[in-house]
Amino acid sequence: MDELTREFLIESQEGLDRMERCLTDLEERPRDADLLGDIFRSVHTIKGTTGFLGFKRLEKLAHAGENLLGMLRDGKLLADRPIITGLLQLLDGLRSILKSIETEASEGEGADSALIEQLEALQAPVLAQAKQPARIKATVHAEPEPPPAAVHVSSQVPRQTKPERTAPVAGKAPDEAEPEVSRPRTQTAGTAAESTLRVDVTLLNRMMNLVGELVLTRNQVLQATAADPNMTLLSRRLDMVTADLRENVMKARMQPVSNIFSKVPRIVRDLSQSLGRRVRLQVEGQDTELDKSLLEAIKDPLTHAVRNSLDHGIELPEDRVAVGKDPEGTLKLRASHEGSHVVIEVSDDGAGIAVEKVRQKAIERGVITADRAAQLGERELLQLIFLPGFSTAAAVTNVSGRGVGMDVVRTNVEKIGGKVEIDSRTGKGTTLRLRIPLTLAIIPALIVHSVNQSFALPQGALSELVHVPPEQAAQAIEWMEGVPLYRLRGKLLPLVFLDRLLMPAGEHKMATERDNFIAVLDADGRRFGLVVDGLADPEEIVVKPLSAVLKDIGLYSGATVLGNADLALILDPSAIALKAGVTMSVREEAAHGGEEDAEAVKGLEYLLVEAAGRRAAVPLTEVLRIEQLPVSRIEYIGYRPVLNFEGQLLPIEDTGGVLAAAEGDPDTQIIVVVCREGTRHVGIAVSHVLDVAAGADLFEAGTSQRTGGVTLLKERVTGIVDLGGVQALPPGLSTVEQRWNQIAETVA
């Protein structure tokens, strides 16, 4: 494909995207001259350029559309619903031809005559009137068609000789001279055109790669110069610049979510018409940015979610009135940043999911037993709609009223390392939350050792780690006809020994002769324990693709370079599960959910920690990870201890006095339990992590009131760490650089 055609395709697609946005707006403001002008220009530009490039089919179709649009723009017709539907069909027609040009380099075979006729029929009222002499006053303006899109080089081709049947009225002409830019209309046209630039994605990928390289080199420089006081300042500066550069290159790959949100109004319009719903769409956080490839990946899940909300969430207008709601339902799309994630919410104020019906259906379909179902809480029941098999359209649409393709939504989002959460209240509505990582190229991973090598295990699939020392291995690891199993809180977990999987022919130490670390993985609903020889630190790794030969092995999803310059292969948990034959039926998985819930009935689970001789409990659900580090890593802002974790500052709570106790020796290892508190993260300094146990409620003697702040753990009354009480960091430290400066000052 030559350069000119490619350019044409890109511009036309952008034009059509803009047209789509304008058309849905036009339905609300049918007389908006700006909108009409914009739509007209999009189609006109395509028509002008196609003539030049020789795409006859496209030209003919665009011409028919242009005629109709001309009349709308001149106010001879009002953009009513049938006309907008016709124009949307025109848009689809143009798109499909463009697609065929892109993929097959030809316009393809296809009859547009029906569509052209339809577009002409829509002009009929005007054409009929035009026969009456009184209406021919437009001819007064003999001025030629003004160049509608002067900025587009391609449209200057003097091909528009065909006289416009709908010559523009003079008053509208200045609008058209307005330069066109490939940006949303809200931006000021001139500046946007001057300050933006089209860059090839492959170039950005290469830059990202090189920055990853720089990060690694920096890590090595930092390690090498750590001992030299003269280099500290220099290496700190290098560290800062690298972090900043990385952030900015990542930003260059970012696109606003409005790129995919802009498709939604059309879907809402079409669906609400065909389903007889009345829906108002609210969009928030359109300018939240996300990596381009991730944006592509969530396009389908988002569409699914919107369809679901309209199809099963929002009720028919009369039903809404009957329950005292506004006949017009609201569908809200919201994008926002939350830590290192972008959260995309699709919420409706519809009927919500009838949890009882989900329960019934689950039992009926044999997904869970009636006993289990009775134990399950509302939240667990809602999770069932994500199970494959639970979401076959016919089965669910008429029962639970939700669930079509929900497993597809979950699979797609999890594929890119994201998470899906659902929240629903009967009669009030449903909120689906997609939690998407900011970028694909850098992922958090746990480095593990096996067969004398390092491997990276993506943390997205990792749910917990269990250490089985050699002397306990004989009892802890049980065998069932040659299949190793581990009892994880009373439940059998199939084990996969990584060394045996990777080197089936090699000699392996028995589990009783070495330390065993079980990484409990959850890959696409398959739960298993991967046994490795050793664990290293978690690292943010830069994913590098593997050559096709190695990809074919099927166990590795990529490779990465670690901080110590070693290479590590990135393990693919679901491929390992598949290779090792770990499968889990829906029945088992649901049963597993039930087991968790049964524990929840007993009481919340807590992480039991010890800080300077005292025991304390941290709610396990809030624990993100546990870090072991030398006390010298802790820095201070004023008197507040903080941990700089790759540019993210973590306030450290030290009520136990662990930091003070370790003060004298900078090499003392301390443990920081990183917890979630609302939307922020906080760290708790402890000296040991003891165990995980279920807590029991305690009651005050006499009043029998449930006591807050303490729980019964391992038959001892244990205080619960108050995460909310951890003071927030001073606001205003918004950028990494500012934080650094602040730290630099306080350290100096």
Partner 1 sequence: MSTATVMYPKASAEAVTLVEVCSVRLAQTWFGVPITHILEIVGSARPQPVPLAPAYVGGLVHYRGDVLTTVSLRQLLGLPPKEGTQDILVLECSSGCFGLLVDSVGEVLTVSSVDHEANPSILDERRKTLFAGAYKLKDKLLIMLDPERLDPMRLSAAQAG
Q: Which residues contact partner 1 by CB under 8 A?
A: 209-210, 212-213, 451, 453, 502-503, 544-550, 552-553, 555-556, 558-561, 565-569
Question: Residue 567 CB, nearest distance to partner 1 (Å)?
Answer: 4
Residues 312, 692: Cα–Cα separation, whole Å: 41
* Amino acid at the residue 400: S
Q: Which two tokens stand for residue 244?
A: 């900043």
User: From the CB of 224, what's the least distance to partner 1, in Å?
Assistant: 17
How far apart, in whole angstroms, are the C-alpha atoms of residue 352 and residue 432? 11
> What is the maximum alpha-carbon separation in the chain?
103
Q: Nearest-CA neighbor of 439 among 246, 617, 714?
A: 246
In whole angstroms, how close is the CB of 511 to partner 1 at the nearest point?
Answer: 19
In the complex, least distance from residue 449 CB atom to partner 1, rounded to whole angstroms: 13
Q: Is 731 left (phi over 0), alpha (psi -120 to 50) or beta?
A: beta
Of 4 and 503, which has the nearer Cβ to partner 1?
A: 503
Q: Give the number of residues written for the chain.
A: 748
DSSP 538-606: EEEEE-BPPPHHHHTTSSEEEEEE-TTS-EEEEE-HHHHHHHTT----HHHHHHHHHHHHHHHHH--EE
- Nearest approach in angstroms of CB 245 to partner 1 is 14
- Closest separation between CB of residue 561 and partner 1, Å? 5
Cα–Cα distance for residue pair 621/608, rounded to 1 Å: 13
* Closest CB 233 distance from partner 1, rounded Å: 27
Residues 6+ apart with CB under 8 A from 280: 328, 329, 330, 331
Are the CB atoms for 17 and 38 separated by under 8 Å? Answer: no
Q: Which residue has the tokens 């009456």?
A: 132
**Of 453, 457, 454, which is closest to residue 444 (Cα–Cα)?**
457
Whole-Å CA distances, 65 to 86, 87, 123: 9, 7, 10
Residue number with CB closer to partner 1 (116 or 568)? 568
Strands (DSSP E) found in 469-508: 477-480, 483-488, 491-497
Nearer to partner 1, 204 or 620 (CB): 204
User: Cβ closer to partner 1: 208 or 671?
Assistant: 208
How far apart CA 86 and CA 79 sit, in angstroms, is 10
Q: Which two tokens stand for residue 239?
A: 């560290």
Q: Which is nearer to partner 1, 209 or 259 (CB)?
A: 209
Query: Closer CB to partner 1, residue 550 or residue 692?
Result: 550
Give the nearest distance from C-beta 471 to partner 1 in angstroms. 28
Tokens describing residue 554? 């099927």
By C-beta, is 87 or 532 nearer to partner 1?
A: 532
- Of residues 441 and 713, the one with the C-beta less far from partner 1: 441
Beta-sheet strand order (sheet of 341-348)? 279-284, 329-338, 341-348, 429-437, 419-425
- In the bound state with partner 1, the residue whose beta carbon lies nearer, of 48 and 558, is 558
From the number of C-beta atoms within 10 Å of its C-beta (0-12, 13-18, 19+), residue 412 rates as: buried
Question: How buried is residue 734: exposed, middle or buried, by Cβ count under 10 Å (0-12/13-18/19+)?
Answer: exposed
Nearest alpha-carbon partner for 187 in 113, 286, 73: 286
Minimum distance from residue 553 beta carbon to partner 1 (Å): 5
Nearer to partner 1, 240 or 562 (CB): 562
Of 192 and 575, which has the nearer Cβ to partner 1? 575
Strand, helix or coil for residue 196:
coil
As measured in angstroms, the least distance from the Cβ of 174 to partner 1 is 52
Question: What's the min distance (Å) between Cβ of 443 and partner 1?
Answer: 15
CB of 552 to partner 1, least distance (A): 7
CA distance 250 to 289: 11
Residue 353 vs 559, nearer CB to partner 1: 559
Specify the residue, 543 or 684, whose C-beta has the smaller distance to partner 1. 543
Query: Residue 542 CB, nearest distance to partner 1 (Å)?
Result: 9
Distance linking the first and last C-alpha atoms of the chain: 60
- CB-nearer residue toward partner 1: 209 or 303: 209
Q: Identify the sign of the CA torsion 381, 387, 393, 395.
A: negative
For the bound state, the minimum distance from the C-beta of residue 697 to partner 1, rounded and expressed in Å, comes to 50
| Shortest Cβ 572–partner 1 spacing (Å) | 13
Place of tokens 């480095």: 447
Give dist(CA 45, CA 62) in Å, integer.
Answer: 9
Question: Which is nearer to partner 1, 140 or 503 (by Cβ)?
Answer: 503
Q: What span, in angstroms and rounded, lies between the C-alpha atoms of 632 and 378?
A: 46
Contact 465, 515 (CB under 8 A): no
Phi and psi of 635, rounded to 5°? Answer: -115, 170
Distances 172 to 26, 142, 373, 437, 508 between C-alpha atoms, Å: 17, 14, 66, 46, 82
Q: How far is the CB of 212 from partner 1 (least distance, A)?
A: 6
Q: Which of 581, 571, 300, 254 is nearest to 440 (CA)?
A: 254
Judged by CB, which is closer to partner 1: 578, or 629?
578
Our CB check for partner 1 shows the closer of 138 and 536 to be 536
The C-alpha angle 443, 444, 449, rounded to 5 degrees, equals 115
CB of 455 to partner 1, least distance (A): 9
